[in-house]
Amino acid sequence: MTSKEQLLRQYLVYLNVERGLSENTRLAYERDLRQLMIFLTQRETDFTGCEANDLFLFLLKWKGDGKSPRSIARCNATLRGFFAFMLEEGKRNDNPSTYLVTPKLNQPLPKVLSEATMDKLLLEGETSYLAPRDLAMLEVLYSSGLRVSELIGLRLSDVSLDVGYVRCLGKGNKDRIIPLGDPAVRAVESYINTLRKSLCGKLESDILFLNVHGRPLTRQGMVYILKKWGKSHHLDRTISPHMIRHSFATHLLDHGADLRSVQEMLGHADISTTQIYTHLTRKRLLDVFKKSHPRAD
């Protein structure tokens, strides 16, 4: 194994063990660094000998190849993290990525449902056989802001109904505990005590939310359930699990929750990710002002 390959492997182990990054993130970082390795070889240098100008030209090539600003920004973050690691490990005595500039991203605001729409969505008007399960999932989603992968991975032992909280293992294997509101607790209790027993049948499963065959729901299955539920409640738009997660965060901030608490409940590693929701609340205040104040125009 070459020294370049050894350095890359050491960094990937560090990302896994020390940083606890998800496999998808590690794979993205590895792809970026392998492309950098090829580029530096063509310039007759390597990770230990390259200079800031080499990295600048590498990112410039990415831009010339038509890479999106988001991809370039991620690659920039990859380079910064990798060379900071090399500096800490004594593989270099400088960090050539220090002066790299991240391109500005025009980040679209997340799609959010109004509180009135969420109230309409959580009505118990649905009469289908699976309605108790579907309502329980919706209540938990809106009460906790879980990602869809976290919701369908919940086990019976992850939900404490007597205390009112849910425990989940999120990105990077990070454990977090989130409160559950009373409506969510009641909906889950009703589902467990009635429908879940019949769904489980003779199968023994500790997964909380099951499909009609007694097996764990899939992401696609969850998306289909929400689409069908929205139609039955006469919503004029298609809803998604992530839309409910966005609504959870935005409504908390609208009612005075602090950003750090919302960050913790969402499981965001960086508070800058959570700050996108403050743009939504500011926009909503501005809309209210323009519609309501006599001297807004």
Write out the catalytic residue numbers.
147, 171, 242, 245, 268, 277
What order do you get walking across the sheet with 165-169 strand by strand?
159-160, 165-169, 175-179
| Cα gap 265→267, rounded to integer Å | 5
- What is the Cα Rg of the chain in Å? 24
Contacts of 62 (CB under 8 A, 6+ apart): 71, 72, 75
Q: b/e per residue, 228-260, with b = 16+ CB within 10 A?
A: ebbeeeebeeebbbebbbbbbbbbbbeeeeebe
Pair 187, 131: CB distance under 8 Å: no
Give alpha helix (H) positions in the chain.
Answer: 3-17, 23-42, 52-64, 69-88, 115-121, 131-144, 148-152, 182-193, 195-200, 219-232, 241-254, 259-266, 271-274, 276-292
Give SS3 for 210: strand
**85-91 own/partner pairs: CB under 8 Å, 24+ apart:** 85/11, 85/14, 86/7, 86/47, 86/48, 89/10, 91/7, 91/47, 91/48
| Cα gap 167→157, rounded to integer Å | 9
The neighbour count for residue 274, using CB atoms within 10 Å, is 20
